[in-house]
Chains A and B, each alone.
Chain A
Amino acid sequence: MWSASRGPILARVKLSIALVALLLLPSCLLGRNHVNQPLDASAYAALEPGVTTAAEVAERMGAPVDVVELGFGSAWRYEYVRSKRTGVFLLLVGLLNDDTQSDRAWLFFDDTGLLTHAAATFEAGEAAWEMPWSEDD
C-alpha cells in the first residue's frame, strides 16, 4: 500500500529534477581563449646576457610579437595570453567571470645585437575558472 502511494510522488520528484536540470544545463559557460603560442621556458632559461645574440634568440624562440627601438638598441617582446571565462545564467541572474593572465618575456639588445638584459614572467597557467565572488588576489 505504502509503496503504491509513493510511486507517483517519486515520479513527480524525478520529473522536477529533470526539468530543473534541463533549465540549468544550457545555462553554463566555460570558455578558454589563447593568444600566440606558449613560451618555451627552457629556451628562455638558456639565454645568457652578454653572450647570446639577437640572431640566436630568433633561432631559439622564433619571431617576437613586438620590437621596440630604444636609444641604446632594441627590446623584443614575447607574449602568450590565456583567458578563462565562466558564466552561469539562471533565468533572472547572470554571473560572469573573466580571468586573463600571460607569459611574457622582454629581451633587451645593444646596438650590436648582443643580449644585455632579459626578464620573464610566467603567469598564464594561473588563469582560473572562478565566479564573481571569488577572492581577489
Chain B
Amino acid sequence: MVRGRLIRAAALASVVALATSCVQFDWERVHVGRPLDAGAVERVLTERPDLAGALAELGAPNRVRRLESRVDRPEGTELLWVWRRGRGFSLTGSVPIEQGGNASLEVSNGRTQLDGLRLVFDLDGRFVRGDAGAVDTDEPDLGLPFVN
C-alpha cells in the first residue's frame, strides 16, 4: 500500500518535472518558397533566352535589381529567384544549481539552405549570364521571409 503510494508520488513528480521543461527536444522544419523546376532552370541556362522568354519560362522572380555600370561590366538588370529550406533539432536540458539559478545545456544540429537562380540581362533585355546554386543570406534586399 505504502509502496504503491510512493510509486504514484514519484510518477506525479516526474510528470511535473517534465512539464516544466527541464528537458526539451525540438524538431523544426522551415520552407520558404518553392524550388524552380530543375528542367526549366537547365533550359534557361542553356538556351539563354531574352528577358521575356525567361519570365515566361520561370514566372516572377523574388527580386529585381539594377546593376550599375562598372569597368568590368555594362549596366543591366539582375533577376533573382530564391527559396529557403531549413531543418534541424535541438535538445535542451536545464537543472537548478545550489548557488542559485539554473545550469543549462543545448545541443543542436540544423541546416538552412538558401538556393536560387540569378540571371542578368542587358538594357535591351538580352541574356548576359546566369548561375544557379547557393545564395548568400546577406544578399542585398533579400529581407524577410528569406532571412531571419
Contacts and interface: CB of A to CB of B under 8 A. Distances in A.
Interface of A: 68-72, 75, 77, 81, 83, 91-102, 104-106, 108, 117-121, 123, 126, 130-132, 134, 136-137
29 contacts: A69-B66, A70-B66, A71-B66, A71-B77, A83-B145, A91-B19, A93-B25, A95-B27, A95-B28, A96-B27, A97-B30, A98-B30, A98-B31, A99-B31, A100-B31, A100-B33, A102-B33, A106-B60, A106-B61, A117-B55, A117-B125, A118-B55, A119-B58, A119-B61, A126-B34, A130-B29, A132-B29, A136-B85, A137-B34
A117 B58 CA distance: 13
Contacts of A121: 59-60
Q: How large is the interface on B (under 10, 10 to 19, 20 to 34, 35 or more residues)?
A: 35 or more
A104 B99 CA distance: 56
A137 B35 contact: yes
B66 A68 contact: yes
Given A119-B60, A126-B34, A100 B52 contact: no
Interface string B28-72: 111111110000000000000001100110111110111000000
B76 interface: yes
A70 B67 CA distance: 8
